[in-house]
Amino acid sequence: MLAQLTASLSALKLPLRLSLPDGGSVDLGPSPRVELTIHDPALLQELQAPRLDRLGEAFVQQRLDIRGSVLEAVAVADRLSSLLVPEQDNGDVLHQPHDRRTDADAIAYHYDLSNAFYALWLDPEMVYSCAYFRHPDDSLAKAQVQKLDHLCRKLRLHSGERLLDVGCGWGGLARHAAREYGVHVHGITLSKQQLKLASERVAAQGLGDRVHLELRDYRDLAGKENYDKIISVGMFEHVGHANLPEYFRVLQNQLKPGGLVMNHGITAHHVDGRPVGHGAGAFIGRYVFPHGELPHLSMAVAGLSDQGLEVVDVESLRMHYARTLELWSNNLEQKLDQAAALVDERALRIWRIYLAGCAYGFSRNWMDIHQILAVKPLPNGSHSLPLTREDIYL
């Protein structure tokens, strides 16, 4: 079987060396840049029809090791998979129920991993969402500040306004908006670890009178029309298809008439959400973001519109997210020893594959990311947005 397998794989001419359990190795192309060391002989069988989730899982389970760039390893694995496994139409996509308990557990699994670990590879403000590169060689830190400004400017924040930040993470946007735009921010997260560090940073920067962060589910926001502006960044991927109407209802209910809401989030490639990427999404669902679900852009636009919110601007930042993830992945790869002291081997392997895999996935258009700006028109149908977008770029 081995001879047959290596013969068929060699025909693919990939820059890949396979190191085999018997100590031998086989190059699948003239100058291999990536080496996969197979520890488990059973994996050889799977290599005949390699799916990315199975290969990723083998790496997590230490049945496989990677030498060389993880990003390049993902790219080579995808080439292998594309050549050997036809993309499957998995029929109906199953959507999971989302209740408060399930969501809180899913958020704790991902975000409570270790603040110090996230701080290793995120920017200094610990913004955990797509950055905005005005120039291709902008640093991550610069691009994240540019993203925060891009969002604040789209929201036309004015001093004294009340801003709700749904899914505030480590509070980067809340602090920036309060400091630079003079707004009062109410930020909510489900992650205890995020809240702890975010609150410490708010206090350290003397912003306690303008930034209030708390552990709260978006479904438990009380009252109505409390905010002039609402922002949700990288959060609606956790809501689940079944709860999207409720999520958009909460946003519209909390927004004052004439107010603006910005939804910045990852969106699915296909309208019907069927998988792309040879199992990559299954890996993310199993190991990285349990209960995460990507809606298509059209669902987000429909959900906002159904609530009477008028969509006024949509921008794709797909290539920005490919770059952001590449920089996150590079940062982590350069600090593996420090990371290993902060999280266990399994988590480190998961996060390595996830960051590199998502960088690759965005570059390949497996998913997109959209900033959607909507207004809640006044009762007479008007609003006070400028006629053009020029003010955003002044």
Query: Which of these ranges, 16-24, 53-61, 182-190, 320-328, lies near ligand SAM under the rule CB under 6 A?
Result: 182-190
> Residue 390: how many CA atoms within 13 Å on its side-chain side?
3
Query: Which of these ranges, 161-169, 268-276, 309-317, 319-327, lies near ligand SAM under the rule CB under 6 A?
Result: 161-169
For ligand SAM, the closer of residues 103 and 228 by Cβ is 103
For ligand SAM, the closer of residues 91 and 223 by Cβ is 223
Measured CA to CA, the distance from residue 134 to residue 181 in angstroms comes to 21
- Residues with Cβ within 8 Å of residue 337, at least 6 apart in sequence: none
**β-pair type (255-268, 227-233):** parallel
CB of residue 218 to ligand SAM, shortest distance in Å: 4
Measured CA to CA, the distance from residue 227 to residue 225 in angstroms comes to 6
Say how many residues touch ligand SAM, by CB under 6 A. Answer: 21
Does position 167 interact with ligand SAM (CB under 6 A)? The reply is yes
CB of residue 217 to ligand SAM, shortest distance in Å: 4
Active-site pick, 130, 152, 168, 358: 358
For ligand SAM, the closer of residues 78 and 237 by Cβ is 237
Measured CA to CA, the distance from residue 147 to residue 259 in angstroms comes to 21
The sign one gets for the Cα dihedral 107, 110, 114, 118 is: negative
b/e burial code for range 152-179 (CB count within 10 A of at least 16 → b): bebbbbeeebbbbbbbbbbbbbbbbbbe
Binding residues among 215-254 for ligand SAM as defined by CB under 6 A: 217-218, 233-235, 238
CB of residue 26 to ligand SAM, shortest distance in Å: 40
**168 is a catalytic site residue:** no
Does position 172 interact with ligand SAM (CB under 6 A)? The reply is yes
341 neighbors 224 (Cβ within 8 angstroms): no
Query: In this chain, which of 32, 169, 273, 303 binds ligand SAM, going by CB under 6 A?
Result: 169
Which residues are designated catalytic?
358
**Footprint of ligand SAM on this chain (CB under 6 A)?**
103, 107, 111, 127-129, 167-169, 172, 188-191, 194, 217-218, 233-235, 238
